[in-house]
Every structure is written in structure tokens, then in C-alpha cells.
């Protein structure tokens, strides 16, 4: 398979564009009520495949997209994190979604930090947002650890226009000042 984008490494993780071999992980995440709760709800393997294909398609069309996140120590797929801006999206997002058994280990913060750096350095983004439903306190905590702040309510594009979200975010200058 042709690599759709770069591979990033953090101390504990490998981030690379999605591949067909990631489908089992995507499907497990989509079928778990806890991990799927804030990602559109529980769905079957076929829906997980379409979501994965959309993320791979973003790499092909835009030159960026969600990275698959793998544990370095095991090679196990633990989630997807990265830059995201499909048509009609409310801004230049770095988002995350992890398997429930990967929650609480700092993986979302570690992977999002690497992808925010990458988005600012390689995509030229001047700001980054996170679309978070108000009840998703774990993701709000990740956003705070990243230095983002609540900017206000947001609106998603169809077919998700009825989803209530808050926009969290920060500018490239704010990010870089914190990273010094």
C-alpha cells in the first residue's frame, strides 16, 4: 500500500495514516458503548469501515487527516487522533477518539500534542479547535491539558447539524508560547 502521509512518533506511540489492517480496532472502538458514546454512538463494523475510509480519503484529498494511533510497545491500535477539516467543518480541528481500554493513559494528550505540532508546522494552520459535546468531560480535560480554552458553542455540518457541541481551541502563538 502507498503511504498516504507521514509517520509520527512520540515516546509511547506511533501515528500513521489509517490502513485496512486497522479495521478491527476501528470496529472495536465503534462497538463499545463507552468509546462510541461521544463519537456518534455504537455502530456495526460496516459503519466503522466507512469512517476509516473517510479518514483515509481525507489524506488522499487534503494531504492530512486523522492518524491511526498504535502503542509502540505492542503495535496495538488504540485510536485515531489528528487534524480534521471536512467540508463545512467549523474550523481546523485536531480531534481524538480512543478505544475505551486506552482511556486514562495520557495517549490522547500525547498524540494530540504531536499532531498539533505537525498541523502548525506542516499545514500552516494558525489556530486549532476541538469539537466537544458538553457532556464529554474526559475530552474537556484533554483540551485543558493541551492549553485550549472554551471558545463557545459551535455548529456541525449536515448530517450532524443537531449535535450540540462546544468549540475549544487556541492560536498557534498561544500553543508555541506554552511549548517553549
**pLDDT tens-digit readout, 23-58:** 998 888 787 767 666 677 667 778 888 888 888 899
Sign of CA dihedral 88, 97, 132, 119: negative
Asked whether residue 131 is domain-assigned, the answer is no
In a domain, 3, yes or no: no
Counted domains in the chain:
1
Alpha-carbon distance values, 22 to 56, 78, 122, 167 (Å): 11, 10, 25, 29
What pTM, to 2 d.p., does this model score?
0.93
**CA atoms lying within 13 Å on the CB side of residue 26:** 25
The answer to whether residue 103 sits within a structural domain is: yes
In a domain, 69, yes or no: yes
Domain containing 116 equals: 8-126
9-18, 38-47, 111-120: segment of lowest average pLDDT = 38-47
Let me know if residue 100 belongs to a domain.
yes
- Say which CATH number the domain at 84 has: 3.40.630.30
Amino acid at each position: 500500500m502507498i503511504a498516504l502521509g507521514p509517520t509520527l512518533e512520540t515516546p509511547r506511540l506511533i501515528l500513521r495514516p489509517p490502513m485496512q489492517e486497522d479495521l478491527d480496532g476501528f470496529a472495536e472502538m465503534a462497538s463499545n458503548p463507552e468509546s462510541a458514546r461521544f463519537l456518534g454512538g455504537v455502530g456495526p463494523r460496516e459503519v466503522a469501515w466507512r469512517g476509516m475510509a473517510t479518514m483515509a480519503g481525507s489524506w488522499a484529498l487534503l494531504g492530512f487527516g486523522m492518524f491511526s494511533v498504535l502503542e509502540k510497545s505492542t503495535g496495538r491500535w488504540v485510536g485515531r487522533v489528528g487534524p480534521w477539516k471536512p467540508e463545512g467543518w467549523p474550523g481546523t480541528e485536531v480531534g481524538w477518539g480512543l478505544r475505551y481500554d486506552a482511556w486514562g493513559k495520557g495517549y490522547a494528550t500525547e498524540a494530540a500534542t504531536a499532531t498539533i505540532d505537525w498541523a502548525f508546522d506542516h499545514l500552516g494552520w494558525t489556530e486549532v479547535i476541538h469539537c466537544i459535546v458538553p457532556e464529554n468531560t474526559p475530552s474537556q480535560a484533554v483540551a485543558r491539558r493541551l492549553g485550549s480554552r472554551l471558545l463557545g458553542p459551535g455548529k456541525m455540518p449536515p448530517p450532524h447539524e443537531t449535535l450540540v457541541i462546544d468549540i475549544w481551541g487556541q492560536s498557534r502563538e498561544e500553543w508555541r508560547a506554552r511549548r517553549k
